[in-house]
Amino acid sequence: MQLIRKKRDGGVLSDEEIRAFIAGITNDSIPDYQTAAMLMAIFWRGLSDAELATWADAMTRSGDVMDLSAITRAKVDKHSTGGVGDKISIPLAPAVAACGVAVPMVSGRGLGHTGGTLDKLESIPGFRVDLSGERFAQLVDELGVCLIGQTERLAPADKRLYALRDVTGTVESLPLIASSIMSKKLAEGIDGLVIDCKVGRGAFMKTIENARALCALMRAIGTRAGKRITCVLTDMDTPIGRTIGNALEIRESIEVLRGGGPVDTRELTQVLGGEMLVLGGVAKDADEGRAKIEKALADGSALEVFRKVVAAQGGDPRVCDSPGSVLPKAKARTEVTLPPGRITAIDSELLGMAGVVLGAGRRTKEDTIDPSAGLVVDAYLGEVIEPGAAPQIWIHHSFAPGDGKLAEARAMIERSFVIDPNAAATPVRTSRILEVIR
């Protein structure tokens, strides 16, 4: 109680006080109501740089810290703050591994309008993300990459805090977001980290100023821990690529691994991968790194790494050659044709929530995912929809034609597009990259 008062009144917590508090959260000696009170005090009063570094370090050390020192290659991971259609980890990780940098990737599940890498991977029949720490390290060493979920012993304090933040109105606290992300990543035993910080309508960070502030905190935590951190601010005003939904996004990821796929999905894979290669010491600068990633996608080496990963983690490797014959298919497909005019805005968050209604995402952690559900979107910002044009959106679902959820999702999709029949052509951003902070 004394520590809560101290932070509530603007005091600075000592290292010993912070570590004792995090230890109490981990061993259940501090009840949830006191933890919730501390979270609210931090929400209002913040944490100093020194407090934040200690808070994040205590969370990192609340459980096991993976020892990957036996792996001789540099170990670099990527973290995304979450977006709509964000399947980038799936082509990115094997491409980076194909270029000589190990990627020990611990990912999360989707919640709300943002999708989760684990859910996408599990749409591949048999694919397991619940591997032991020993098997994880073995595959990172042998294949250069492994993709799993957070284990029970990886930053367990974060699990308690994350659940309480969600129900106490403290999710938006930048110090709490930064320490949550970095504690899990630092527990992976990595040498460096590239952070894809999404900005815009479909992101948690709505403004570039907030994104920069969050990145500054994460970089400060990483620097104090002796890790190399690069932040890439990317545009999330519109969905990434053409697909929203788990199996659909796997198909698009494989297109990228074959050297194709939508331009923006390829760009993000190449840019983020290039920065990872720089941190891993196999590229002298971002341009060289990007060129190496582009080559790995074009020559099939990235796809071959992914094939081995799928097989090693229990999945059907035929997905790399014939995804349509392996991945689950929706029972029905409904077409949507937008009204004539120029698309002047797209609400990607609303599109993401339409995917949740269809079963492609979760409102709560207990919700069940339909891996086949989602959207294929062939409508882009600035594009003109001509009268009588073919459908622009295909809804993949398992509902009967008159189902209320299908009608609800369709209405959300139609509201997601702002279309002006009289709008003149205006310049449209051709790159998703807003800023790189090294």
Per-residue model confidence (pLDDT) at position 20: 95
What DSSP character marks residue 431?
-
How large a percentage of the chain has pLDDT more than 90? 85
Percent of the chain with pLDDT over 70: 98
Per-residue pLDDT tens digits for 361-391: 877 767 788 999 999 999 999 999 999 999 9
User: What pLDDT is stored for residue 427 in this prediction?
Assistant: 86
> Among this protein's residues, is 48 annotated catalytic?
no
Domains and CATH numbers, the chain: 2-46 (1.20.970.10), 76-323 (3.40.1030.10), 328-420 (3.90.1170.30)
Catalytic one among 184, 201, 242, 410? 184
Does residue 171 register a pLDDT over 70? Answer: yes
Each as own residue / partner, the long-range contacts of residues 156-162 (CB below 8 Å, 24 or more positions apart, any chain) are 156/26, 156/62, 156/63, 157/22, 157/25, 157/26, 157/58, 157/59, 157/62, 157/63, 157/183, 158/59, 158/62, 158/183, 158/184, 160/25, 160/26, 160/32, 160/35, 161/25, 161/35, 161/39, 161/59
**Quick check: is 158 catalytic?**
yes
Which pLDDT value is given to residue 166? 75
* Residue 111, pLDDT score: 63
pLDDT tens-digit profile of 211-228?
A: 999 999 999 999 999 999
Q: For residue 128, what are its two tokens? A: 């397991």
- Could you report the per-residue pLDDT of 77-86, keeping only the tens digit for each? 999 998 899 9
Catalytic: which of 57, 86, 119, 158?
158
Average pLDDT along the chain: 94
Q: Please report which confidence band the pLDDT of residue 167 belongs to, taking 50, 70 and 90 as the band edges.
A: confident
Phi-psi region of 393 (alpha: psi -120 to 50; beta: other; left: phi over 0): beta
Question: What is the rounded CA–CA span in Å between residue 120 and residue 124?
Answer: 8
In this predicted structure, what is the pLDDT of residue 363? 74
Q: Quick one: pLDDT at residue 114?
A: 67
Q: Which residues of 264-300 are buried (b: 16+ CB within 10 A; e: fewer)?
A: bbbbbbbbbbbbbbbbbebbeebeebbebbbebbeee
Q: Which of 73, 109, 165, 307 is catalytic?
A: 165
Mean pLDDT computed over 300-312: 98
* pLDDT score, position 172: 85
**Stretch 237-256: mean pLDDT:** 96
| C-beta separation of 88 from 272 below 8 A | yes
> Of residues 89, 123, 179, 180, which has the active-site annotation?
180
Instruction: Burial-class residue 398 by CB neighbours within 10 Å (0-12, 13-18, 19+).
Output: middle
Residue 365: its pLDDT value, please?
A: 67
**Annotation marks residue 113 as catalytic:** no
Average pLDDT over residues 10-37: 95
pLDDT at 112: 62
Q: What is the band of 113 on the pLDDT scale with cuts at 50, 70, 90?
A: low
**pLDDT range class, residue 1, cuts 50, 70, 90:** confident
Helix (H, G, I), strand (E, B) or coil at 186: helix
Helix (H) or strand (E) holding 400: none
Is 184 annotated in the active site?
yes
CA pair distance 433, 8, nearest whole angstrom: 39
Mean pLDDT over 382-407 rounds to 93
Question: Which pLDDT does position 204 carry in this prediction?
Answer: 83
Q: What's the pLDDT tens digit per position in 331-368?
A: 999 999 999 999 999 999 999 999 999 999 877 767 78
Give per-residue pLDDT as tens, 38-61: 999 999 999 999 999 999 999 999
Tell me how far apart the alpha carbons of residues 199 and 217 are, in angstroms, rounded to a whole number: 16
Q: Which of 113, 423, 75 is nearest to 279 (CA)?
A: 75
Distance, CA of 149 to CA of 130 (rounded, Å) = 6
Question: How sure is the predictor about 405, in pLDDT bands with cuts at 50, 70 and 90?
Answer: very high
Q: Which of 7, 75, 79, 410 is catalytic?
A: 79
Catalytic-residue membership of 165: yes
